[in-house]
Amino acid sequence: MTTYIPQQNILLSALSKDAQGRLFQHLECVELPLGEVIYESGDAVHHVYFPTDAIISMLYMTESGASTEISVVGNEGVIGIELCMSGESMPGQAVVQSGGYAYRLPGPRFKEEFNRHGELLKLIMRYTQALITQTSQTAVCNRHHSIGQQLCRWLLLSLDRVPSNQLNMTQELIANNLGVRREGITEAARKLQRQGVIEYCRGHICVLDRPKLEQLSCECYAVVKKETDRLLP
């Protein structure tokens, strides 16, 4: 049985012992199954979530019901930063794209620590800057790069947020996140499989050749990775 600790989240791990002492007593470890909607667009933020091995997609929905992922959050980040940005409501939908666990913290405890104007504030500001880079680069990628390159970028970003080379997600979910037709994802995935880069079967993806996956991706992944590594511990 896997044992989870708050320090498996990079932001929580980076806090001092004093800050951890104030926050950790209020944390609750929760399971986040694949496909669960944590927040709908416009929902008030009552809790923030620090993933350990779950991956959460932030999606924007159109009036027609189509969706596009604008950012992905895993063990490097937190869901619910809107709570300390004066908005206090979710601008988009937060959906679990890869099941796992996270630590949930009541909103008032998060705001209280943030308003100390200490290390949590600095961490969240740096994380927000990294998130802005990811969101901006995703917009560029969706507009200018092929479905194959977008899939490679998306797989790499997801892979950075899990402890292994295994991903559990369907082609339909990937297509919804990227805002493209499922047939396009199917063809791109088959091509990667023929090249020996991934192995795909019934919603299970195993990345066999990460260096090759990075070569096939556009520059967008490297830009996001470099900025995230620069800003976060």
| pLDDT higher than threshold 90 for residue 221 | yes
pLDDT tens for each residue of 60-71: 888 887 778 889
Measure the CA–CA gap between 22 and 207, rounded to whole angstroms.
39
pLDDT tens for each residue of 97-141: 888 999 999 999 999 999 998 999 999 999 999 999 999 999 899
Q: In this structure, what DSSP letter does residue 38 have?
A: E
For the sheet containing 55-61, what is the strand order? 37-39, 93-98, 55-61, 67-73
Cβ atoms 32, 102 nearer than 8 A: yes
pLDDT for the residue numbered 175? 83
Measure the CA–CA gap between 55 and 170, rounded to whole angstroms.
14
**Rounded to two decimals, what is the model's pTM?**
0.91
Read off the pLDDT band of 166 (50, 70, 90): confident
Read off the pLDDT band of 1 (50, 70, 90): low
pLDDT for the residue numbered 204? 86
pLDDT for the residue numbered 95? 93
Exposed, middle or buried: residue 232 (CB in 10 Å: 0-12, 13-18, 19+)? middle
pLDDT tens for each residue of 24-67: 999 999 999 988 999 999 999 999 999 999 999 999 888 887 77
Cβ atoms 69, 58 nearer than 8 A: yes
What's the CATH code, domain 6-139? 2.60.120.10
Instruction: Provide, rounded to the nearest whole percent, the portion of the chain with pLDDT above 70.
Output: 99
pLDDT tens for each residue of 169-190: 878 888 888 878 889 998 999 9
pLDDT for the residue numbered 62? 80
pLDDT for the residue numbered 214? 96
Ordered by start, the domain boundaries in the chain are 6-139, 144-231
Q: Which fold has domain 144-231?
A: Arc Repressor Mutant, subunit A (1.10.10)
pLDDT for the residue numbered 32? 96
Q: Which two tokens stand for residue 90?
A: 């979710």
Measure the CA–CA gap between 159 and 206, rounded to whole angstroms.
10
Average pLDDT over residues 2-15: 93
Reading phi first (left if > 0) and then psi (alpha if -120 to 50, else beta), residue 194 is in alpha
**Residue 196 or 177, more confident:** 196
User: Across the chain, what does the average pLDDT equal?
Assistant: 91
Average pLDDT over residues 195-211: 92
pLDDT for the residue numbered 153? 94
pLDDT for the residue numbered 197? 96
